[in-house]
Amino acid sequence: MELWSLLQDLLFDYTLRTVALGAAVLGIVSGSLGSFAVLRRQSLLGDAMSHAALPGIVIAFILTRSKFSLVLLLGALVAGWLATLLMTAIVRYTRVKQDSALGLVLSIFFGFGLVLLTYVQRIPDANQAGLNSYLFGQAAALLQRDVLAMAVLGSAALVLMGLFWKEFKLLSFDPVFGASLGFPMRLVDTLLTTTLVIAIVVGLQAVGVVLMSAMVVAPAAAARQWTDRLSIMVLLAALFGALAGVIGALISSSGSGLATGPTIVLVVSAIVTISIFLAPNRGLLWRWIVRRRNRRRLRVEAVLADLYTLATQHENRYHAHDAVVIRTMRAGQGGVAHTLDILQERGLVRKEDESRWALTPDGFREAQRITADMQE
Amino acid sequence: MEEKHAAIEVADLTVAYQEKPVLWDVDMYVPEGILMAIVGPNGAGKTTLIKAIMGLIQPAAGQISIYGKPFREQRGLVGYVPQRGSVDWDFPTNVLDVVMMGRYGRLGWIRRPGREEERLALEALEKVGMARYSERQISQLSGGQQQRVFLARALVQEAQIYFMDEPFQGVDATTERAIITLLKELSAANKTVVAVHHDLQTVPEYFDYVTLLNVRCIASGPVEQVFSEENLRATYGGRVAFLTAAGNGAEQVEPAATTAGHGAI
């Protein structure tokens, strides 16, 4: 039993347990804070932040020669934050628009990070610090102290989110109204951005800078499909993030040799796909069914209304008419025979002979009601 | 009308976006308890004017006072109804939650809305005829219902002065009546309302005062005194084609906004 042994490993194997714990932490934090980014249409901001974190990591290593992930992640935090400030400044003080500013900052920071990374390979110890794994992530290399660092940073972000929940909601829904109430919305924005940077930094070691933004956007986008409440959306996004993180990290660490970041992203993509198709109300399948049902209802009502029109032209309201007559009235719309069968099943019409149909008393009343509705 | 307190006084207000003046040297006096319409062509700075008064836009020059004091000290006296189109109505929240946002200013940082806020929100929803919809997801509201939710949110601010940005924009007849009733009630309770308005025809019927704005303030005062053909022509340039000889009444200048949807789906 593959699954059984995996579960046993999860409970008793130190490495796997550490990896799963780390992946769960990163999924929870990026999923919940990603919800705000998605609702504010700032999905790409996460991408810029994570790419921009790379030079921060490398510089932190060059300066301290430390192998502790907490130190490197603090470097990432500073760089991601500076990148955001720079983007805001570019948009505010130049004529460069938001999307261009984002693209510029992302590529410049990331390019600079890659150059530094190549340079730093010559320094002894660089390999030991596992700098390369920050590109695509390597959950298998997570140590207990790394997970501890992630948990500390992640909790800080979640506590901030809990404290300023009301302010973050206001910022996401109606920032101008928020400003009119006297809240310094720029400060609230900075706070939320800071928590988002923290959320991203938490996942860098396991998922990598290249694909981290998927963990910000995908769980939140999937969660939005299932609920119409912000609190539930955040909880669901956290759950989806944790699920994708743990499954992806376990697949990649169980000797498959797959890079962790891409594996996690594949898992989360599956969750998104399922959500987009199957979620009630918003899901594609659901909407298709509703549309079909509506169309059929309209067709049934239309045929009934036609029979009613015919009936009112006769002295005997239950006089039968040929299906061909009804078909001519529904010019260009097929399915009359089928619709008549449906109506017969409901006892609203009755078949006089091979091709002639008439309203039943029930059908007459129903048709009267529908026609009255139509005229309203 | 005489001997009333000044609810709002605006002097020499100038606002510029990158060197281009949007409002230029605007003076405005709003007595307490009146309903004032701000009218003017597109790009006249109507929204900018109310935003500047509320400190949402930094003016280049000018003084603004609310009951004789700077806006910053009087923020609690002011309620705001932004344009309906300014937010994403697909946001995952319900009607009650949006209305309670009107209390956030009183609550201050961190504190969450509770029972009292909920009671006030339901009361306000009752006033705008939306009590039945308190649990409804906001994406399922019609345009008129969205507008009434925004009005309820402003009502729970328990303000003395209300700024409304196009409250009648694209609403159905029911909502229009509900808003008018509400405006009259506010005015009767000695509250002041300043609303950006588009439909010139209804100005004399709905409002006591009017400000004609086109970057500069063309005229501002009681409707019967300043809502004249001459002033309208000065405001809209040659674009007022259907002015009636009567002077007070004017046909609508821009194409009428059609009602957006009716009743919830």
Beta-carbon separation of B82 and A179 below 8 A: no
Q: What is the DSSP string of B94-122?
A: BHHHHHHGGGHHHH-SSPPP-HHHHHHHH
Beta-carbon separation of B94 and A229 below 8 A: yes
Using CA atoms, how far residue B231 sits from B137, B211, B234, in Å, is 44, 10, 5
pLDDT average, residue stretch A307-317: 79
Beta-carbon separation of A166 and B105 below 8 A: no
Does the residue A369 lie in any domain? yes
- For residue B93, list chain A residues with Cβ-Cβ distance below 8 A: 169, 173, 228-230
Backbone angles phi, psi at B10, to 5 degrees: -120, 130
Does the residue A270 lie in any domain? no
Beta-carbon separation of A180 and B54 below 8 A: yes
Beta-carbon separation of A182 and B139 below 8 A: no
Same domain, A208 and A344: no
Search chain B and give the residue with CA nearest A228. B92
Tokens of B134: 């308190």
| Dihedral sign computed on CA atoms, order A285, A287, A292, A293 | positive
Beta-carbon separation of A178 and B88 below 8 A: no
Nearest to B104 among A172, A181, A228 (CB): A181
Q: A127: buried, middle or exposed (CB in 10 Å: 19+, 13-18, 0-12)?
A: exposed
For B67-103, what is each residue's pLDDT tens digit? Answer: 999 988 999 999 999 999 999 999 999 999 999 999 9
Same domain, A237 and A315: no
- For residue B104, list chain A residues with Cβ-Cβ distance below 8 A: 166-167, 170, 178, 181, 183
Angle between the A14-39 and A212-226 helix axes, to the nearest 10 degrees?
A: 70
pLDDT at A217: 95
Task: State the smallest CA–CA distance between residue A175 and chain B in angstroms.
Answer: 9
Does the residue A83 lie in any domain? yes
Interface residue ranges in chain A relative to chain B, Cβ cutoff 8 Å: 39, 163-167, 169-170, 172-174, 176-183, 224, 227-230, 233
As a whole number of angstroms, the distance between CA A260 and CA A268 comes to: 12
pLDDT at A120: 87
* Number of structural domains chain A divides into: 2
Same domain, A255 and A289: no
What's the domain range around A143? 2-261
Does the residue A274 lie in any domain? no
**Residue A8 neighbours by CB distance under 10 Å:** 12
Same domain, A106 and A178: yes
Same domain, A87 and A185: yes
For A80-136, what is each residue's pLDDT tens digit? Answer: 999 999 999 999 899 899 899 999 999 999 999 999 998 888 877 766 667 888 888
Beta-carbon separation of B92 and A166 below 8 A: no
For B197-230, what is each residue's pLDDT tens digit? Answer: 989 999 999 999 999 999 999 999 999 999 988 8
Search chain A and give the residue with CA nearest B150. A177
Task: With H, G, I as helix, E, B as strand and everything else as coil, classify residue B221.
Answer: strand
For residue A359, name the pLDDT band (cuts at 50, 70, 90).
confident
Whichever domain contains A257, its CATH number is: 1.10.3470.10
- Give chain B's domains with CATH numbers: 6-239 (3.40.50.300)
Task: State the smallest CA–CA distance between residue B134 and chain A in angstroms.
Answer: 14
**Identity of the residue numbered A361:** P
Whichever domain contains A342, its CATH number is: 1.10.10.10
Tell which residue, B165, B159, B153, has the closest CA to residue B101.
B153
pLDDT at A225: 95
